[in-house]
Structures are given as C-alpha cells and as structure tokens.
A = this chain, B = another copy of it.
C-alpha cells in the first residue's frame, strides 16, 4: 500500500478569498506579523501495491482531471510513505 499526497493551491495570480479571510481574522485574534495566507486543499490517496512511476503518473492524471482546476490551481504530487 502506498500513500500519495496531492497538494492543490490557488495559483499566485488568482484571488484567494478564503486565505484573505484568514489573514484578516488573525490580527483580531492577537496574531501579528503575518504577511500572507493562502488556503488550498490536501488529498491523501491510498493505493494498492507499491509506489511505482506508473502509479505516480496515474495520481498526476487524477490531480489534473478531478482534484484540481488547472485554470486557477496548481498541484503537487508526492509519495508520503509506503505502508507494509
């Protein structure tokens, strides 16, 4: 069993209202010195079998077609761990 992690974040040039809402709330809660907050999604995907190049290519394809909107979001895929 292999676990892949897919991070999906709004592209830098795209407005991120959720991140901005968090950024605006922080000073009111007493947190200062925060320059920026961006909010995205994280997916943990457990796949049968070992972490191979083919599996990774499949996860990249999932990220591109289902997990992200490539027009407004960037994604990154990595293997987090391989569980026996």
A37 within 8 A of partner (CB): yes
Interface residues of A (CB under 8 A from B): 1, 7-9, 19, 22, 25-26, 29, 31, 33-49, 58, 61-62, 65-67
Contact B40 A41 (CB under 8 A): yes
Contacts of A37 in B (CB 8 A): 43-46
Contact B9 A44 (CB under 8 A): yes
In angstroms, how far is the closest chain B Cβ from the Cβ of A13?
Answer: 15
How far, in angstroms, from A22 to B34 measured CA to CA in the complex?
A: 33
**Partner pick for A34 among B7, B8, B25, B45, CB 8 A cutoff:** B45
In angstroms, how far is the closest chain B Cβ from the Cβ of A53?
Answer: 15
In angstroms, how far is the closest chain B Cβ from the Cβ of A39?
Answer: 6
